[in-house]
């Protein structure tokens, strides 16, 4: 070790000296002594590493270490889950939280955060049923005899199969054996439930006779999976739900329908493509229908199950149901969202997911022209900002082939020597590191920001100002 390096090491204060430093007392009050101690040790370790490699150019060592501690503690105090601007062009983005909750749902879950009557009957003073808070609402909205809820739609399917067809056969069309997000596949979900899969038909065509020929004494269930993640076109055929229900009922078998996304209303009234509803499936003869709460329905993550009362009661008695149950916060938010559907005249205004999906291209175009000069001012001259038309998608496996006309900002480098992707990752990272991150996507040599989901204009402009202050 040379003399200069030794001098630098000796100039570093001890942990105890920094702990006694008056300027760090407010940090101990705010974060606690243990956290401050850990931050000091980390800062000293980083300083020693910099000295070893000759990268130490600090004049005021104490001030530098205090600043490092403050920055470290501030970073640690930030929540891991942060609000972001979803400008990816995918409205119900699985990685970005899917459907944004309405204000009424947020108020409801905050109100339920303390002690609440989640499983307490206020009328009788005795233990109550958790599902009672949403069952009446779901029955009214779908026409089902009964309803229950678990933590997501995959769990709903597992519970139904494990209850109605464990150690027995479930018949499913080969063309419905889909893979959903995270590489979860219907055959795998069926296997974990304990039911044996029997495939019928081909990838593109299934007939009633295929189901009929597959039924035997070991058959417990006929199942249909709505292929919300993809669509096969051309020479295709599937058995209508009504026919499939009649076929199953003729053999005293229940029909289970996994709707996946599932919408409680006909989306066509808002200018969107029609998505099958639970009410339609129950009317067609389905005995159990499962669907998600956090996709087209616009609520929190949940798996909703509606259908015949006798079957729902069997599901509720399954010990697996307790392992899959939702907490009080989910129940509170879900109940608030379901109540919005009882006021259909206000739904488009109060339900953010539906509002964003139904937003007109003209409105988004006007917003793009409004944001264009602000974005240009926020970025260095070496970056060009333009607007262009584009297509948004619904996301989360909902309406996979349908596109929603939209408009976006396109940010590209103006450097003459640029090559594809030059500087774009750094620019995208700068947007992601803003106080409220802005998430877009890189496409065709530019960062694209689809404005369909941009509603809080003042906060967005504030982030662009922060980007400008940081030098782009």
What is the pLDDT at residue 124? 94
Cα–Cα dist 152/101, whole Å: 16
Q: Which CATH class is domain 85-94+358-469?
A: alpha beta
What is the pLDDT at residue 186? 81
Within 10 A of 1 (CB to CB), how many other CB atoms are there? Answer: 9
Helix axes 328-340, 132-142, angle to 10 degrees: 30
Q: Residue range 377-385: average pLDDT?
A: 92
- Give, in order, the Cα–Cα distances in Å from 68 to each of 40, 62, 64, 73, 352: 8, 10, 6, 9, 40
pLDDT of 180 over the 70 cut: no
- Lowest mean pLDDT: which of 79-83, 152-156, 180-184, 188-192? 180-184
What is the pLDDT at residue 229? 56
Virtual CA dihedral for 272, 276, 277, 281, nearest 10 degrees? 160
What is the pLDDT at residue 228? 59
Question: Considering the entire predicted model, what is its pTM?
Answer: 0.87
pLDDT of 147 over the 70 cut: yes
Paired tokens of 193: 């439930």
Tokens 């002690």: give the residue: 115
Paired tokens of 413: 């480098």
Contacts 24+ apart (CB under 8 A), 320-326: 320/158, 320/159, 320/162, 320/163, 321/148, 321/150, 321/159, 324/150, 324/151, 324/155, 324/158, 324/159, 325/130, 325/149, 325/150, 325/151, 326/130, 326/149, 326/150, 326/151, 326/302
Q: How many CA atoms lie within 13 A of 48 on its CB side?
A: 12
Virtual CA dihedral for 338, 339, 343, 349, nearest 10 degrees? -70
Confidence of residue 273 (pLDDT cuts 50, 70, 90): confident
Q: Convert 240-257 into a string of H (helix), E (strand) and C (coil).
A: CHHHHHHHHHHCCCCEEE
What is the pLDDT at residue 373? 97
Q: Chain-wide mean pLDDT for the chain? A: 90
pLDDT (tens digit per residue) in 213-231: 999 999 999 999 987 555 6
What is the pLDDT at residue 60? 78
- Give, in order, the Cα–Cα distances in Å from 171 to each of 148, 187, 259: 24, 11, 16
Confidence of residue 401 (pLDDT cuts 50, 70, 90): low
Beta bridge partners, 392, equal 404
Q: Residue range 257-263: average pLDDT?
A: 90
pLDDT (tens digit per residue) in 77-132: 888 899 999 999 999 999 999 999 999 999 999 999 999 999 999 999 999 999 99
What are the boundaries of each domain within the chain?
A: 3-76, 85-94+358-469, 103-350
What is the pLDDT at residue 64? 84
Nearest to 42 by CA among 8, 69, 63: 69
Within 10 A of 192 (CB to CB), how many other CB atoms are there? Answer: 13
What is the pLDDT at residue 318? 97
pLDDT of 266 over the 80 cut: yes
pLDDT (tens digit per residue) in 307-320: 999 999 999 999 99
Same CATH topology for 85-94+358-469 and 103-350: the answer is no
Highest mean pLDDT (candidates 232-246, 287-301, 400-414): 287-301
CATH 3.40.640.10 for domain 103-350, yes or no, is: yes
C-beta separation of 301 from 331 below 8 A = no
- Lowest mean pLDDT: which of 14-23, 294-303, 332-341, 410-419? 410-419
Determine the 3-state secondary structure of 79 from DSSP: coil
Within 10 A of 179 (CB to CB), how many other CB atoms are there? Answer: 13
Nearest to 150 by CA among 323, 296, 339: 323
């Amino acid at each position: 070790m040379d003399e200069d390096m030794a001098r630098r090491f000796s100039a570093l204060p001890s942990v105890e000296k920094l702990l006694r430093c008056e300027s760090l007392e407010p940090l101990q009050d705010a974060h606690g002594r243990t956290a401050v101690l850990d931050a000091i040790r980390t800062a000293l370790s980083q300083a020693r590493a910099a000295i070893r490699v000759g990268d130490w150019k600090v004049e005021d060592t104490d001030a530098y270490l205090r600043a490092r501690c403050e920055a470290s503690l501030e970073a640690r105090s930030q929540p891991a889950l942060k609000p972001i601007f979803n400008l990816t062009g995918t409205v119900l983005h699985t990685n970005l939280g899917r459907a944004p909750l309405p204000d009424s749902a947020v108020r409801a879950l905050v109100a339920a955060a303390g002690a609440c009557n989640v499983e307490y009957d206020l009328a009788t003073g005795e233990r109550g049923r958790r599902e009672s808070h949403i069952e009446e609402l779901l029955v009214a909205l779908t026409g089902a005899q009964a309803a229950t809820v678990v933590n997501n739609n995959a769990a709903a399917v597992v519970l139904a199969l494990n209850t109605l067809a464990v150690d027995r056969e479930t018949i499913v069309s080969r063309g419905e054996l889909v893979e959903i997000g995270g590489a979860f596949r219907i055959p795998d979900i069926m296997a974990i439930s304990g039911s044996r899969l029997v495939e019928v038909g081909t990838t593109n065509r299934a007939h009633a006779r295929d189901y009929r020929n597959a039924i035997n004494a070991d058959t417990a269930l006929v199942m249909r999976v709505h292929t919300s993640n993809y669509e096969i076109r051309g020479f295709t055929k599937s058995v209508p739900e009504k026919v499939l229900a009649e076929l199953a009922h003729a053999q005293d078998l229940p029909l289970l329908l996994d709707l996946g996304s599932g919408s409680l209303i006909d989306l066509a009234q808002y200018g969107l493509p029609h998505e099958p509803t639970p009410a339609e499936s129950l009317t067609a003869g389905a005995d159990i229908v499962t669907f998600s709460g956090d996709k087209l329905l616009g609520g929190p993550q949940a798996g909703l199950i509606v259908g015949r009362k006798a079957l729902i009661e069997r599901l509720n008695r399954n010990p697996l149901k307790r392992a899959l149950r939702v907490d009080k916060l989910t129940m509170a938010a879900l109940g608030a969202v379901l109540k919005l559907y009882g006021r259909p005249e206000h739904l488009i205004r109060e339900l953010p997911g539906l509002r964003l999906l139904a937003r007109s291209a003209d409105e988004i175009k006007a917003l793009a022209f409004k944001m264009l000069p602000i974005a240009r001012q926020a970025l260095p001259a070496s970056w060009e900002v333009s607007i262009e038309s584009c297509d948004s998608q619904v996301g989360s496996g909902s309406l996979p082939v349908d596109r929603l006309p939209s408009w976006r900002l396109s940010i590209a480098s103006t450097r003459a020597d640029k090559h594809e992707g030059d500087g774009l990752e750094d620019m995208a990272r700068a947007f992601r590191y803003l106080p409220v991150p802005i998430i877009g996507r890189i496409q065709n040599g530019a960062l694209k920001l689809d404005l369909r989901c941009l509603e809080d204009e003042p906060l967005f402009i504030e982030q662009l100002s922060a980007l400008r202050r940081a030098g782009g």
